[in-house]
Amino acid sequence: MSAVYKVFQEGGIIAYPTEAVFGLGCDPDNSQAIEKLLNIKNRSKEKGLILLAGDFKQLLPYLDISKISKEQIDTILSRWPNAITQVLPANPALSSLLTGRFKSIAVRITDHEDVVALCLQTNKPIVSTSANLSGQAPALTWQQVAEQLSGKVDYIIKSTTSGLLKPSTIIDGLTGEVLRN
């Protein structure tokens, strides 16, 4: 068992590289871990969080697939893997710690090797939010994570981002409307 997998399983907070910035994440099925993450960031529970996955199957338990047509699924899948986060209907049983005040969940399939490796080990997505305190600039390196969040994060993957210059675009996965460019 890898150290990062052990931290994930035990409800720890992991800092990891994504396409453009470092993210903070945890097990999306562990409410205590999610609350810990929100407290570290001083982030409102109302905002909701993103889930990153290595493949679409890992996202299925978190989505309300009954509200997505076959054609929409084909279009959604055609956008990944990429730095595009899509807002989709959430499974009604999903914790509001993940969805915030919404009936949807923001999800992304990534090809960043560190995240994909973790998602394959755990066979589930990881919660994702930028590695920073709310209102501050996101960390771009693991060294910045260590500096800003020293003692608050349980594990830092000491790797690099994919080098994109801005965080992922967020779109409504059903309509294609851009919510954050």
For the chain, which domains are there? 3-180 (3.90.870.10)
Bridge-based pairing state of the strands 50-53 and 126-130: antiparallel
DSSP letters along 27-72, please? -TT-HHHHHHHHHHHT--TTS--EEEESSGGGGGGGB-GGGS-HHH
Q: 19-31: per-residue pLDDT in tens?
A: 889 999 999 999 9
42 pLDDT more than 80: yes
128 pLDDT more than 90: yes
Residue with tokens 């590289």: 17
148 pLDDT more than 80: yes
pLDDT confidence of residue 164: 72
**If DSSP codes are grouped into helix, strand and coil, which group holds residue 74?**
helix
Mean pLDDT (whole number) for 127-142 = 90
CB atoms within 10 A of CB 39: 11
pLDDT confidence of residue 1: 61
